[in-house]
A and B are shown apart, each in its own frame.
Chain A
Amino acid sequence: MSARSDRRWAELAREVEFTRLPELRRQAEGWRTGLTGLTALLAVLVLLKGRDDLAGLPAWARDSATGLLLAAFLLLTTGSLLAVRAAHGAPEREILLGGQALRRWTEQEVARVTRALAWASLCCVLGVVLVVGALVVAWVTTTSDPATHPVVVRTNSGVLCGELIVVDRQRVAIRTETDGRVTLPRATVLSVGPARAC
């Protein structure tokens, strides 16, 4: 380390004494902005989006998608916090501030910021991958379930359950899993009601 470099570090260390409060305020502003953005994002996701998209899935698919989304949520939140930490730092202990102490601290901080950025990137990529995984699970299980609006039809002779095809003045037509399309004369139908599943 040259004498000129040592002197410059010493001058910088002395300057720090006069910039402590502005530096802390700048740090607080950065964290405020980051946390406000994160809170807004989570509020939009949780309050506006809700869980409607998962409600129609089979139980195992719903559980899998929920787990994936939860893990993605945690990873994305962690990644965001790590990115804010890398950008704006975090309050830490005081040190005996001299030029060489500042130089050592700067080297350590560079390593910490580099690590935080790497982890933030990894968390965000994994979070997005998990969100895509949850979407794939939802799509795959949705297409494999043909009875999206099952109904229960009570007639003079019994009860049928299936997907409603058509209702008019003459007939009620449904598609059942066992018999396929079944057409019932309207006069024989006592009631038609929704069913959760057949």
Chain B
Amino acid sequence: MTRAVRHDHGKPYADEDLGEIDAALFTQGPSPDGRGVIVAGTCPRCHGPTRTLFPWARPGTGSKGVLSLLFARGDTPRAEGEPDPLLTEVHLCECGHAHPQCPPDTSYVGCGASWRIRR
């Protein structure tokens, strides 16, 4: 399968908000190792294949689920009814290519674009 537009590796890095993007361009599914959910698609700016893992994690401190923690076995308990990251998160280009002027310390290696997804 070929993409309509090739990945523009030369596009300089820019912290640019692209607004809302059609959900048809992206997919969402559990990661193979069960660590979280992967949102994958094509970056609307540089057209590179972007793939972001949203891991299950405990953000720090809180008060919910103490009884579940006491009696849970095996894996750590996870919140139920969690909103899907595809529609609730702001997505950043993570095409993996360090575009020109890409900051060396960024966690999201890509062209710098960000967007939300709507259905």
Contacts and interface: CB of A to CB of B under 8 A. Distances in A.
B82 A88 contact: no
Contacts of B55: 17, 96-97
A20 interface: yes
Contacts of A93: 58, 64-65, 68-69, 76-79
A96 B56 contact: yes
A9 B17 CA distance: 14
Contact of B54 (A9, A15, A98): A98
Given A4-B15, A6-B90, A101-B89, A96 B61 contact: no
A96 B90 contact: no
Nearest to B76: A94
Contact of B90 (A89, A90, A99, A112): A99
Interface in B29-83: 36-37, 54-66, 68-69, 76-79, 82-83
Contacts of B69: 91-93
A90 B65 CA distance: 9
Interface string B75-106: 01111001101001110100000000000001
A7 B91 CA distance: 9
A156 B54 CA distance: 97
Interface residues on A, range: 35 or more
Interface in A73-106: 85, 88-102, 105-106
B56 A16 contact: no
A97 B54 contact: yes
Interface string A1-42: 111101101110111110010011001000000000000000
B60 A95 contact: no
B16 interface: yes
Given A93-B58, A95-B57, A96-B36, A3 B79 contact: no
Contact of B61 (A2, A27, A101): A27
A109 interface: yes
Interface centre among A6, A16, A24, A94 (most CB of B within 10 A): A94
B114 A92 contact: no
Nearest to B66: A90
Given A100-B90, A101-B85, A94 B60 contact: no
B107 interface: yes
Given A7-B92, A101-B89, A102-B59, A92 B15 contact: no
17 contacts: A3-B90, A6-B114, A13-B59, A15-B107, A20-B57, A91-B65, A91-B66, A92-B61, A92-B66, A93-B58, A94-B57, A96-B85, A101-B82, A105-B59, A109-B61, A109-B62, A112-B62
Interface of A: 1-4, 6-7, 9-11, 13-17, 20, 23-24, 27, 85, 88-102, 105-106, 108-109, 112, 116
Top-9 shortest CB links A-B: A89-B61, A92-B62, A3-B17, A98-B89, A6-B90, A97-B57, A93-B65, A14-B107, A93-B79
